[in-house]
Amino acid sequence: MPPRATDARRAAVLGKPIAHSLSPVLHRAAYDALGLADWSYDRFEIDEAALPGFFEKLGPEWAGLSLTMPLKRAVIPLVDEISETAASVDAVNTVVFAEDGRRIGDNTDIPGMVAALREHGIEQVDSAAILGAGATASSALAALARICTGEVVAYVRSEARAAEMRRWGERLDIDVRTADWADAEQALRAPLVIATTPAGTTDALAAAVPERPTTLFDVLYEPWPTELAARWSMFGGAVVSGLDLLVHQAVLQVEQMTGRSPAPLEAMRRAGERALAAR
């Protein structure tokens, strides 16, 4: 049974650092649009060591939590069950508190990526490239496992990272080949390019954008646009942004925590855009 929307309920995002998070803006916009005047959504700077203590103090008024780095794996021992999606990448970014007291972990990043791509007309691709090999890259692989019918090439900086991406490929049952970061310019010719690296990492690749680029999914949203995304757009390529991902994964969180569906996607997007513009 979903949480009772008439009750005063609480939710929050946890992580460290957390001051930059747009999640409060998105979730509060959803509550306003849904008429959930008694619901609140906060942010707490919490690291792995403090997470169990935080959970111990949570009362029945709590509806759910959003988890960002470095807590997506640290939270797993603290929940009663996790979804198949979350288990597929050993990462939980959403915890919903059921009325019977169970704590249910899920991962909305993966379906959020798929939804963001679908919104831009990408339903299926025959191959793709991933720039990077961190936690977001594993979620990208899981998303590609749903829409990519052929090979995924991951461009990484070390053999250790390459081996990790190949292991994720085997686990997710998707064909993954790894290549050296020095050859990352080749990635830009793939039908779909997913950039999962920190700010500034792909700037040097902007000059190598082909004359007719396809689709770039850059998971960053601040600063935006990245040099790569700006150049991609200038050449007429389709660009999916980190804000697209953030909004779509937050939509799924709101639906799970409130029991209301559909969540107000456009209201949440506008709130996110205004907040970024104000920064």
pLDDT (tens, 9 = 90+) of the chain, 279 residues, equals 444 444 789 999 999 999 999 999 999 999 999 999 999 999 999 999 999 999 999 999 999 999 999 999 999 999 999 999 999 999 999 999 999 999 999 999 999 999 999 999 999 999 999 999 988 999 999 999 999 999 999 999 999 999 999 999 999 999 999 999 999 999 999 999 999 999 999 999 999 999 999 999 999 999 899 999 999 999 999 999 999 999 999 999 999 999 999 999 999 999 999 999 998
Select from 152, 104, 102 the least CA-distant residue to 125.
152
The pLDDT value given to residue 5:
44
Residue 4, pLDDT score = 47
Residues 6+ positions from 169 with CB-CB distance below 8 Å: 141, 152, 175, 176
Length of the chain equals: 279
- What pLDDT does residue 144 have? 98
72 noted as active-site residue: yes
- The pLDDT tens digits of the residues spanning 134-154 come to 889 999 999 999 999 999 999
Residue 9, pLDDT score: 97
26: tokens are 């998105």
| Predicted local confidence at residue 6, as pLDDT | 47
State both tokens at 143.
């998303």
Question: Vertex 255, ends 250 and 259: CA angle to 5°?
Answer: 155
Considering the candidates 72, 231, 248, 269, report the single residue annotated as catalytic: 72
Output the pLDDT for position 7.
73
pLDDT of the residue at 3: 45
Q: 138 CB contacts (<8 Å, ≥6 apart)?
A: 89, 91, 165, 168
At 2 the pLDDT is 47
CB 117 within 8 A of CB 240: yes
* In contact, 181 and 156? CB cutoff 8 Å: yes
- At 11 the three-state DSSP class reads strand
Domain 9-106+247-278 has CATH 3.40.50.720: no
pTM of the model: 0.94
Q: Domain limits of the chain?
A: 9-106+247-278, 110-240
Q: What separation in angstroms does the CA of 242 have from each of 76, 100, 133, 216, 272?
A: 25, 35, 17, 11, 11
Fold of 110-240: Rossmann fold (3.40.50)
* Residue 271 CB neighbour total at 10 angstroms: 22
* C-beta neighbour count of 114 within 10 angstroms: 19
Q: Is there a shared CATH topology between the 9-106+247-278 domain and the 110-240 domain? A: yes
Q: Which of 193, 127, 125 is nearest to 155 (CA)?
A: 193
Main-chain phi, psi angles of 91, to 5 degrees = -150, 125
